[in-house]
Amino acid sequence: MATATAPPVMVERLPRSRSLSPFSWDRVTPILMIAPSVVLIAIFVYGFIGRTAYTSLTAWRGVVPDYTFVGLRNYIRLFGTEKFQADIVNTIHFTAFFLAGCLILGLGAAVLLDQKLRGSIFFQNVFMFPLAISFIVTGTVWRWIFNPSYGLNVLFHNLHLDFLQSGWLTKPSSALNSLTIAAVWQMSGFCMAMFLAGLRGIPEELREAAAVDGATEFQIFRHVVFPLLRPITLSAVIILGHISLKIFDLVFVMTFGGPGYATDMPGLNMFITTFRQDLFARGAAIATVLLLMVALLIVPYLIWNLRGETER
């Protein structure tokens, strides 16, 4: 990282400071360089996480802070609400389908584009474009597309494909899947870019060697290409996974959690609980649960990553 690199002047001084003094410049400088960001992160990231966790154990309700300690009462009440139970189920459902959709479409598109056919650069850009749009815009557009009276349904009707018509966002049974479609549309281009980079990074010799050994095109893909894509896949799962667990903007615009609790998510619930209901302690409890959920996904990855770095 840029801040950690010592300026050239220091390099010139290196021979002189070879002494074992603990306060030599080449030891102090990096620490001084990193210190501001360490302090800021300590306060504004970890400090606030701690403060939130603490708040979730208090009785703060209403506009005046109340730090009476109540233990896990907020959590017990939170998990007792039908809404939060629905949130958990929805998040798992959404994450599973969102990840599957993005990975399958992304990999498929990447494999096709990797054939270096004519116009692949064009399509590469087309698939990437949705990524440049914010979830707010995507959500608004897809809400129109899914509107039963002037969106997709009208198109299907005009094409005499009436059997494809659906209630989309209006029916509790289909709303979450409709939301997933919009999210997949937005993020599968990102997956494609990652997979494409991965595919391009596989040395041609490996494929050729496999071909010489008599492997079919499918076998090469299954036994050579696919295993080499594993690190990329894992990275994609981590990045998309934490986006989907924390999803807020898309839901806020498309459904606001409705109909009923059909598309409600912990992020939206936390916002409403904290800022509409003024239940600050309970909102902090939701934030803490959300953090733990994301940690469950990220921490194993970090450990795996760290182990890889030390082995290298």
Beta carbon nearer to another protein, 26 or 30: 30
Question: Is 58 in a helix, a strand, or coil?
Answer: strand
Residue in 272, 254, 274 with CA at minimum distance from that of residue 263: 254
DSSP state of 69: B
Residue in 99, 185, 91 with CA at minimum distance from that of residue 145: 185
- Minimum separation from the CB atom of position 119 to another protein (A): 27
Residues 232-271 that bind another protein (CB under 8 A): 235, 238-239, 242, 246, 256-262, 267, 270
In DSSP terms, 69 is beta-bridged to 58
- Minimum separation from the CB atom of position 258 to another protein (A): 6
Beta carbon nearer to another protein, 93 or 242: 242
Instruction: For residue 172, state whether it binds another protein (rule: CB under 8 A).
Output: yes
Residue in 21, 81, 10, 68 with CA at minimum distance from that of residue 289: 81
Among 21, 36, 39, 65, binds another protein (CB under 8 A): 65
| Residue 209: how many other CB atoms lie within 10 Å | 13
- Minimum separation from the CB atom of position 192 to another protein (A): 15
Instruction: For residue 64, state whether it binds another protein (rule: CB under 8 A).
Output: yes
**Exposure string for 220-233, b = 16+ CB within 10 A, e = fewer:** beeebbeeebeebb
d(CA 167, CA 162): 12
List the x/- string, 288-307, binding to another protein by CB under 8 A.
x-xx--x---x---x-----
- Minimum separation from the CB atom of position 221 to another protein (A): 25
Instruction: For residue 167, state whether it binds another protein (rule: CB under 8 A).
Output: yes
Instruction: For residue 55, state whether it binds another protein (rule: CB under 8 A).
Output: yes
Beta carbon nearer to another protein, 82 or 204: 82
